[in-house]
Amino acid sequence: MLGGVRCRIITPASISRPRPVLHRFSRSKNSEIASVCGSTALLLHSSFKQVPAALGRVVCVRSMSTDATGAARVLSGNDASSDVKEELKKRVEALGQKLPGFRPGLAIVQVGGREDSNVYIRMKLKNAEAIGINATHVKLPRSATEVEVLLKLNELNQDPNIHGIIVQMPPDSEHYINPHTITDAVNPEKDVDGLHTMNEGHVATGDLETGFLPCTPNGVMELIKRTGVKIAGSDAVVLGRSKIVGTPMSELLKWHHATVTVCHSKTKDLEQKAAAADILVVAIGRAEMVKESWIKPGAVVIDCGINSIDDPTKKSGKRLVGDVDYKGAAKRASWITPVPGGVGPMTVIMLMRNTVLAAEKMLERLLQPKWNLRPLPLNIQTPVPSDISIARAQVPKEISQLAEEIGLMRAEVNPYGSKKAKISLGAIKRLSACKTGKYVVVAGITPTPLGEGKSTTTYGLAQALATHKKVNAIVCVRQPSQGPTFGLKGGAAGGGYSQVIPMEEFNLHLTGDIHAVTAANNLLAAQLDARVFHEASQTDAALYIRLVPAVKGKRQFSKIQLKRLVKLGIDKTDPDSLTPEEAGRFARLDIDPDTITWVRVVDTNDRFLRGITVGQADTERNIGPEDLLQHFGCQRSDGRAGPTADMNDMKVAFPGELQFYLAEAE
Ligand code: NAP
């Protein structure tokens, strides 16, 4: 023992022996501490000449104790995980240095309150706290339905302070909750359990870098690596094929170049197959099923099982055992994991490692100075073709790809088709620590003969900045006008070489403005129509009674009606005091239907709303007003197709009084 820690001395002789023996002894004058990590110190004998080479070999030597019951060395998950914990503490500290106040955030979602889940969650929270991870226990009641869990996950997916999310399985709900639906609802970029189909897919295809590796198999791989046993070319057998352990375990071994056999409940000659394994990983949930005879001499045995069995010698009357008969297997194996203290602690620490990794990726993206924009190639043609041909010649980039290139998170992008998307306002919160950019307003420009107006200048500027100058720049345009819908030039889609694509989608995409204007237009039409109808079919008295009804036997003018009375020159405030002539004037608008001209107003930028007189430009002079206005779908006030030449005339079609009735209607 050295200061209470276990030590193993390595001499050239002990290195050459197949199984170095653990010695317990005091520090002697001819040995020196080469490495102290966690609770184990490694002593190098002074006769050892090639220290660096030895260190290369001894990195994995911690926890190489020989089990008292047999020949196997104990592969301690406790020791291995405490090494990883130290490394993670440093990584978390480094994150805080990069962005003050930044800490990895982990959300552990639990449905119901299973006692075993409570124990696992407590363990995770404790580890998180020790490392510096901000872990939140999100509790949902047993009454929670799948939809409620999905809503909570969506909220966590959007939360910029949460970098990792796990749902403690199995959910303990009164309702059926599909575990696959739940694991797939976690944003893959926050899926620190590595159970999202996308992350599973990465592992299945041998891409062990892009996503997150599932915790238990990843922890097992760490343990196997610590034995120093060569995985490549070995025969590995995995007992169990579950989503969380068996299947990803076999894939990880395969991509570490082992030849893998996967066994399950329908496998024939299980014992024989297990006995062929250089590396045997057991995850079947059957207490001590794997016996000594199943173990190939010298094999590495990893026991993932956690089973509670009766043990009257224990205070609780229970004891935890693995899927392997430990005492028997230890006689033949070269390495074996204990239960507890083997795979369990590794699972927890791998979850922590994934969370730190997720936070590192997030911070990297946050602080990423440059977007990873990959501009589409332009095929410049001479002579310049028509706008629409140019627009159609370009195949737009998928919006999800663009979102990724500019550092948006998957959960922040709500695609609308494949070329458009809405961006969640949560992105603003996430990026709040970033330096604010510059907003360049391209204001009114008189178009040049080639048509470079506001749109072309705006897009051209962004293109020049982003593509050529490599500055993060993006264009913000309002919805298009309706010009192109009616086959007219314009539409805020740009012209010539600088265009918004796909042009048709952009121009025909009717957004809030147009709906609001259309609704107001239609409401006005309906009001006008109803007014004309009621006035034509009712007496003055009936109209008056409907406008000023008796409420609880009392008639009263509203504020707006009093204003109208003033406007009409009627100096009265008591509804019962009006003469029949005054009541008639008050109640009637007396709209002459022949004076009604219904104009088309299609959006807030419409020429009518802007009070623009048409037909005055040189290019329009030789076109008669009828032609022009018919083109706009308008009608003249005199009933003929096309109204008077000046569209401002049409404003008289909306008598001021009508507003009064609209207000009344509200
Ligand atoms: P699981 O979902 O129940 O899967 C068990 C697997 O074992 C299945 O593939 C099943 O085959 C197979 N199997 C069951 N009985 C068998 C038999 N008699 N012969 C051969 N194969 C058999 O369990 P799991 O989630 O993978 O967990 C397995 C064990 O690991 C459990 O004890 C669990 O508590 C433990 N575990 C530990 C950790 C940790 O952190 N240490 C993490 C996860 C799980 P079929 O597919 O044919 O049904």
The string of DSSP letters for 113-143 reads --HHHHHHHHHHHHHHHHHT-EEEEEEE-TT
- Cβ of 265 below 6 Å from ligand 1: yes
Which amino acid residue places its CA nearest to atom 30 of ligand 1?
Answer: 305
Q: Looking at the whole model, is its pTM more than 0.75?
A: no
pLDDT tens profile 325-371:
999 999 999 999 999 999 999 999 999 999 999 999 999 888 877 88
- Cβ of 337 below 6 Å from ligand 1: no
**How far, in Å, from the CA of 246 to the mean position of ligand 1?**
7
Q: State how far the Cα of 569 lies from the Cα of 586, in Å rounded to an integer.
A: 10
Sorted by sequence, the CB contacts under 8 Å of residue 656 that are 6+ apart come out as none
Hey, what amino acid is at 648?
Answer: N
Q: Give the closest residue to 589 by CA, choosing from 523, 526, 534, 657.
A: 657
- Cβ of 286 below 6 Å from ligand 1: yes
- The angle subtended at Cα 615 by Cα 611 and Cα 616, nearest 5°, is 85
Classify 310 as helix, strand or coil: strand
Backbone angles phi, psi at 263, to 5 degrees: -115, 155
- Evaluate if residue 525 carries a pLDDT over 80: yes
Across all residues in the chain, what is the average pLDDT? 80
Q: Would you state the pLDDT for residue 314? A: 92
- Compute the half-sphere exposure of residue 118: CA atoms within 13 Å on the CB side of its CA: 4
Q: State how far the Cα of 410 lies from the Cα of 312, in Å rounded to an integer.
A: 53
Q: Which atom of ligand 1 lies at the shortest distance from residue 264's CA?
A: 21
Residue 44, beta-bridge partner list: 10, 32
Q: Would you state the pLDDT for residue 625? A: 47
Q: Would you state the pLDDT for residue 22? A: 33
Which amino acid residue places its CA nearest to atom 19 of ligand 1?
Answer: 265
- The token duo for 142 is 């047993």
Sorted by sequence, the CB contacts under 8 Å of residue 462 that are 6+ apart come out as 473, 474, 475
Hey, what amino acid is at 212?
Answer: F
Q: State how far the Cα of 281 lies from the Cα of 264, in Å rounded to an integer.
A: 12
The band of 517, judged by pLDDT with boundaries at 50, 70 and 90, is confident
Classify 372 as helix, strand or coil: coil
Write down the residue that tokens 């897009």 correspond to: 459
Q: State how far the Cα of 190 lies from the Cα of 168, in Å rounded to an integer.
A: 15
- Evaluate if residue 377 carries a pLDDT over 80: yes
- Cβ of 223 below 6 Å from ligand 1: no
pLDDT tens profile 381-416:
888 887 778 878 888 899 999 998 998 888 889 998
Q: Which atom of ligand 1 lies at the shortest distance from residue 284's CA?
A: 7
The band of 608, judged by pLDDT with boundaries at 50, 70 and 90, is low
- Evaluate if residue 187 carries a pLDDT over 70: yes
- Cβ of 554 below 6 Å from ligand 1: no
Check if the beta carbon of residue 42 is closer than 8 Å to that of residue 11. Answer: no
- Cβ of 239 below 6 Å from ligand 1: yes
Compute the average pLDDT of residues 432-458.
79
- The angle subtended at Cα 474 by Cα 469 and Cα 480, nearest 5°, is 135
Kindly list the catalytic residues.
Answer: 124, 168, 193
Check if the beta carbon of residue 192 is closer than 8 Å to that of residue 127. Answer: no
**How far, in Å, from the CA of 384 to the mean position of ligand 1?**
66
- Evaluate if residue 656 carries a pLDDT over 50: no
In this structure, how many other beta carbons lie within 10 angstroms of the beta carbon of residue 310?
Answer: 8
Compute the average pLDDT of residues 263-268.
98
